């Protein structure tokens, strides 16, 4: 029997005591940032202190604009001593999603990605939801909390982003949350955050992608080489999905010794998450949803003969892994003998 929002909220609150110091840990993107804001509001005046920490270095202009315009206070993980916190919350992620989470034992996990083998005193993982922000909005409503303009704008922007304006799979719950937040959000502020997307120094990567892309049966592949941030791969993968006759985009690059591969499709094709896992699971972390996925491979773990410095060889290996779902090419058919033909 499914629990009501009120019962889930009650069980969530039961994890905390008034003297708790709480750490909310995120891999910062719009959904994670807004969800962390919402959790902080839920715990306001219920615990002694709350800090939001990000494990990633934030470089995307829209994320930076969101943090600045909504007044979000984040502390980078390397400046945090987890031992001083009595409770740890993970939102929009799970412990297996990133090695930076490995030293943290969360007491609460709230997420909308496919479930992994994680343990916590309180788990709320709903893979069918379009955004974690929807789950947090349900909690706020169950607590009878009217969100501030900034919080509502953040959650509104998060649902809009993670569902790609409801072009990606979503539920009626996402729509209800979106409609509720619309009444309290500053729509012009949300537009300003959304449109502050591309930095001038990112443009060179679009040129690299366009000059080196390969298109095969509606799929576009692009390898960017070293990138200033993995978010560049995300931006370009989303960009290619706006091109006529492209139904699948796979964009990759190397960031700090890690090969990052971003998958996007139109939601009508084979699951991007399954394809990522089949193609790159043996070499690192890989997975995601039907229309969007990600793989991250340490370049030191690439197969023998695949050198990270050799762009041509590495790009071919990426394409082959995807085209043949693990690099196993079908055997060539033997040509039939033409002896005796007239």
- Determine the distance from the C-alpha atom of residue 269 to the mean position of all C-alpha atoms in its chain, rounded to a whole number: 19
Structure tokens at 62: 């829209």
Q: Which domains are present in the chain?
A: 5-195 (3.90.1640.10), 203-323 (3.10.310.30)
Q: Can you point out the beta strands (E) in the chain? A: 21-26, 49-54, 75-76, 87-91, 108-111, 122-125, 214-216, 219-226, 248-255, 258-265, 285-288, 292-298
* 42, 52 contact by CB (below 8 A): no
State how far the Cα of 200 lies from the Cα of 165, in Å rounded to an integer: 25
Report pTM. 0.68
State how far the Cα of 211 lies from the Cα of 55, in Å rounded to an integer: 33
Judge residue 177's burial from the number of C-beta atoms within 10 Å of its C-beta, 0-12 exposed, 13-18 middle, 19 or more buried. Answer: buried
From first to last of the 342 residues of the chain, give the pLDDT tens digit. Answer: 678 999 999 999 999 999 999 999 999 999 999 999 999 999 999 999 999 999 998 988 889 999 999 999 999 999 999 999 999 999 999 998 888 887 889 999 999 998 888 889 999 999 999 999 999 999 999 999 999 999 999 999 999 999 878 877 788 999 999 999 999 999 999 988 987 667 788 899 999 999 999 998 899 999 999 999 898 999 999 999 989 899 999 999 999 999 999 999 987 777 899 999 999 999 999 988 888 899 999 998 898 888 888 899 999 999 999 988 654 554 444 444 444 443
């Amino acid at each position: 029997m499914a629990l009501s929002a009120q019962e889930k909220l009650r069980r969530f609150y039961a994890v905390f005591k008034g003297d708790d110091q709480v750490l909310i840990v995120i891999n910062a993107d719009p959904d994670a940032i807004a969800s962390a804001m919402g959790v902080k509001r839920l715990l306001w005046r219920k615990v002694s202190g709350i800090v939001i920490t990000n494990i990633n270095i934030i470089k995307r202009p829209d994320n930076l604009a969101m943090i600045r315009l909504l007044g979000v206070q984040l502390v980078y993980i390397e400046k945090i001593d987890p031992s001083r916190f009595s409770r740890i919350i993970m939102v929009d992620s799970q412990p297996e999603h990133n090695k930076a989470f490995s030293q943290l034992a969360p007491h609460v996990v709230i997420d909308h990605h496919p479930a992994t083998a994680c343990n916590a005193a309180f788990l709320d993982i709903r893979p069918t939801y379009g955004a974690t922000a929807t789950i947090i909005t349900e909690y706020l409503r169950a607590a009878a909390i009217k969100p501030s303009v900034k919080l509502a704008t953040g959650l509104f922007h998060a649902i809009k982003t993670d569902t790609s304006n409801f072009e990606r799979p979503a539920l009626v719950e996402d729509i209800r949350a979106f409609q509720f937040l619309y009444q309290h959000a500053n729509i012009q502020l949300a537009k300003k955050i959304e449109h502050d997307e591309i930095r001038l120094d990112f443009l060179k990567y679009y040129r690299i992608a366009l000059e080196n892309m390969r298109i095969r049966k509606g799929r576009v592949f692009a390898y960017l080489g070293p990138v200033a941030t993995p978010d560049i791969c995300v931006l370009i993968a989303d960009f290619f999905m706006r091109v006529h006759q492209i139904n699948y985009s796979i964009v990759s690059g190397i960031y700090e010794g890690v090969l990052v591969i971003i998958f996007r499709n139109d939601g009508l094709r084979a699951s991007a998450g399954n394809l990522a896992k089949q193609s790159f699971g043996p070499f690192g972390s890989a997975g995601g949803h039907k229309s969007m996925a990600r793989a991250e491979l340490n370049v030191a773990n690439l197969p023998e003969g695949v050198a990270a410095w050799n762009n041509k060889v590495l790009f071919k290996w990426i394409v082959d892994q995807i085209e043949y779902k693990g690099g196993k090419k079908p055997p060539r058919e033997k040509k039939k003998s033409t002896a005796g033909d007239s």
